[in-house]
Amino acid sequence: MLRNKLPGKGTTIFTVMSKMAQDEGAINLSQGLPDFDGPQALRERVAHHMAHGHNQYAPLAGVMGLRQQIAAKVLDLYGCHIDPDSEVTVTPGATEAIFCAITAVVHPGDEVIVFDPAYDTYEPSVTLNGGRTRHIALHYPDFAIDWQQVKDSITDRTRLIILNTPHNPTGTLWGEQDIQQLREVIAGRDIHLLSDEVYEHICFDDRPHLSLLRYPDLAARTFVISSFGKTYHATGWRVGYCIAPHPLMEEFLRIHQFINFSTNTPLQYAIADFLRDCPQHHRELGAFYQPKRDLFLELLKKSKFGMPPSRGTYFQLADYSAVSTEPDTEFAARLTREYKVAAIPISVFYLDPPQQQIVRFCFAKHDDTLREAAERLLRL
């Protein structure tokens, strides 16, 4: 009989809620995927490269043209010079990059700090590498980090801290005070950082994204991970990337080569072209999504939900405590069955869920989809 390597871990909530939405004929505001296609010009470049022979294995670290464009983007946005030859790897999605980064530094007995609610791929990756995850809970409505608790959680076995900004599922952003506190906490310690920045271009209300690539002292010990799927409204393409200093990237590549040697070749060529020719897309992505956030909030202004505006990502939290005292998993299921709108319960992203009634909606949808969903939610 097989021994379960991930006891207590069942099917991911994203799969569960999306299937429930499909079975119930509900509007799916649960899983973070747009209901519209990415840019036509980008899709045309994919077809072009498929028709012009770019269909075989790409290099292990990715097509050089794409790595060069990533380096150019990072320099433009964050003022950070990276070597596209030795400090960038293109991966089949950000999740694989996260796994490779964790595997590169975590050994049996090592400890990793995560901030709950945490993306559900972090802890399983730590567990599969023999590590232990130490959870620090963040709380509604501001989900601010208690840096004294972080300091108290660090031990001689702490090898990695996983950060996520803009933060999924809360929609919060780091501030400069968080950067300074992080510096103080890890000073003089052999601790690496993994910065999950897949929503880096989706920030609202003129707030900047504070990539760790902006800070040379932090970048020197960090794996920074991002995703073209989120940026180009094409989550099914599964193309992401990792940026890290050469010594870290060497170990990252050692792992990556045995998990998924090559990332989709024509997509890499097409994304390289689009990054070069249409940088305004990622520069204006926050301005594209903010009207959708604002529309969703305006449509639900008279609802019973409490909804502090999301600061980033394409997710919006909703406090339903004025509607029900049900646990969020039960409320989300009832919302899907009875009101035909699917959401994600937040408690599943905590080790020890706090007493709060919160669900997450995805507003990366056509405006008409948001209007129909809001009309249904207003019946609560």
- pLDDT one-digit tens code per residue, 64-87: 999 999 999 999 999 999 999 999
Q: Fold for domain 13-31+284-377? A: Aspartate Aminotransferase, domain 1 (3.90.1150)
What pLDDT score does 10 carry?
Answer: 84
How far is 48 from 288, CA to CA, in rounded Å? 27
What pLDDT score does 1 carry?
Answer: 80
Whether the per-residue pLDDT at 257 is higher than 90: the answer is yes
Which among 315, 305, 286 has a CA at the least distance from the CA of 171? 315
Mean pLDDT of 192-209: 98
Whether the per-residue pLDDT at 122 is higher than 90: the answer is yes
Mean pLDDT of 161-178: 98
Mean pLDDT of the chain, nearest integer: 97
Instruction: Show me where the domains of the chain are located.
Output: 13-31+284-377, 40-278
- pLDDT one-digit tens code per residue, 298-316: 999 999 999 999 999 999 9
Q: Is the peptide bond preceding residue 117 cis, with omega within 30 degrees of 0? A: yes
Residue 128 phi, psi dihedral angles, 5° rounding: -65, -20
Query: Strand 27-28 and strand 341-342: pairing?
Result: parallel
Strands (DSSP E) along 4-52, which ranges? 27-28
What pLDDT score does 287 carry?
Answer: 98
When pLDDT is cut at 50, 70 and 90, the band that residue 2 belongs to is: confident
Dig out the tokens for 278 from the structure: 């249409």
Report the C-alpha dihedral over residues 314, 315, 316, 320, rounded to 10 degrees: 160
Dig out the tokens for 185 from the structure: 């906490």
Whether the per-residue pLDDT at 327 is higher than 90: the answer is yes
Whether the per-residue pLDDT at 7 is higher than 90: the answer is no
Helix axes 64-78 and 265-277, enclosed angle (nearest 10): 40
Which of 1.10.357.10, 3.40.640.10, 3.30.70.20, 3.40.50.720 is the CATH number of 40-278? 3.40.640.10
What pLDDT score does 210 carry?
Answer: 98
When pLDDT is cut at 50, 70 and 90, the band that residue 101 belongs to is: very high
CA 305 to chain centre: 25
Class of residue 141 by CB neighbours under 10 A (exposed 0-12, middle 13-18, buried 19+)? middle
Residue 174 phi, psi dihedral angles, 5° rounding: -75, 150
Mean pLDDT of 104-131: 97
What pLDDT score does 96 carry?
Answer: 97
